[in-house]
């Protein structure tokens, strides 16, 4: 191969790397950038030049790898979160399968999510399957939506009182408290703010408190809330549970 041909190969590889980093984080450009990168990669392969260094330098490889490694570090430090796109109705709370917090970046994708979120979530699920829930995770009873509906069907009517920054429920002779900001966050997202004074609820295994509102709008009432009793915080909300 002549020097000119080598320089051409290097130039194309450089262009591919630049394209990958310039377009991966923009939703409208990333598909075109990925196609251009693939075209250059195919060209280099046809030329029988294995572009290992080129592959490693591209955003399509480095960004998912970094996301995977960073999520792995978070898992072992007990701070990992599942990442996704959508409103708080879909992604607020703790994921039942992995017991890590589920977080949304919002309803509108920017572009980088496709290369970051799957790698992040794959790492969490991999380590959870191999080693169990990350440290500090809730490990108690965690009903599915169908199970929560059945629990509500046999639940008791419970009065709710404000106690500082917490809402206090008296369930099965046990005081259950919930950080009020958990409810306020969801209410602000749904454009309603009603005082919570009465619910139907039930405590399971002294670990999980399951409740549904009684004294507010139909939209709010059909939501079922799961509370981590020890941590005084919401585990999950099921929004499609009709009473």
Asked whether the beta carbons of 152 and 200 are under 8 A apart, the reply is: yes
Cα(69)–Cα(128) distance, rounded to whole angstroms? 15
The domain limits of the chain are 3-57, 61-131, 145-238
Query: Residue 109 pLDDT > 70, yes or no?
Result: no
Q: What is the pLDDT of residue 88?
A: 56
Q: What is the pLDDT of residue 73?
A: 96
Going by DSSP bridges, is the β-strand pair 166-171/174-179 parallel, antiparallel, or unpaired?
A: antiparallel
26 or 64, higher pLDDT: 64
Cα(189)–Cα(182) distance, rounded to whole angstroms? 11
Residue with tokens 């046809």: 46
Going by DSSP bridges, is the β-strand pair 156-163/174-179 parallel, antiparallel, or unpaired?
A: unpaired
Q: What is the pLDDT of residues 19-38, one digit of tens each?
A: 877 777 776 667 777 777 77
Q: Please tell me the least confidently modeled range out of 26-35, 65-74, 84-93.
A: 84-93
- Nearest in space to 139 (alpha carbons), one of 93, 91, 81, 100: 100
Asked whether the beta carbons of 203 and 176 are under 8 A apart, the reply is: yes
| Entry pTM | 0.76
Mean of the per-residue pLDDT values of the chain: 80
């Amino acid at each position: 191969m002549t020097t000119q041909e080598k320089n051409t190969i290097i130039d194309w590889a450089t262009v591919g790397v630049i394209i990958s980093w310039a377009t991966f984080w923009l939703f409208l450009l990333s598909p075109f950038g990925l196609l251009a990168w693939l075209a250059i990669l195919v060209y280099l392969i046809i030329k029988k030049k294995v572009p290992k260094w080129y592959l490693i330098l591209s955003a399509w490889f480095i960004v998912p790898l970094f996301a995977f490694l960073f999520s792995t570090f978070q898992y072992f430090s007990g701070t990992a979160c599942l990442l996704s796109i959508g409103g708080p109705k879909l992604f607020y709370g703790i994921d039942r399968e992995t017991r890590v917090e589920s977080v949304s970046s919002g309803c509108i994708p920017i572009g980088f999510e496709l290369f970051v979120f799957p790698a992040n979530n794959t790492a969490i699920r991999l380590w959870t399957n191999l080693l169990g829930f990350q440290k500090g995770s809730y490990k108690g009873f965690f009903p599915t939506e169908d199970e929560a509906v059945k629990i509500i069907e046999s639940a008791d009517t419970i009065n709710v009182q404000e106690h500082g920054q917490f809402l206090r429920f008296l369930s099965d002779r046990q005081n259950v408290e919930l950080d009020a900001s958990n409810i306020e966050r969801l209410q602000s997202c749904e454009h309603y703010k009603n005082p919570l004074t009465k619910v139907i609820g039930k405590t399971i295994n002294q670990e999980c408190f399951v409740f549904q509102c009684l004294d507010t709008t139909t939209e709010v009432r059909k939501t079922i809330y799961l509370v981590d009793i020890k941590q005084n915080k919401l585990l999950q909300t099921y929004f499609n549970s009709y009473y």
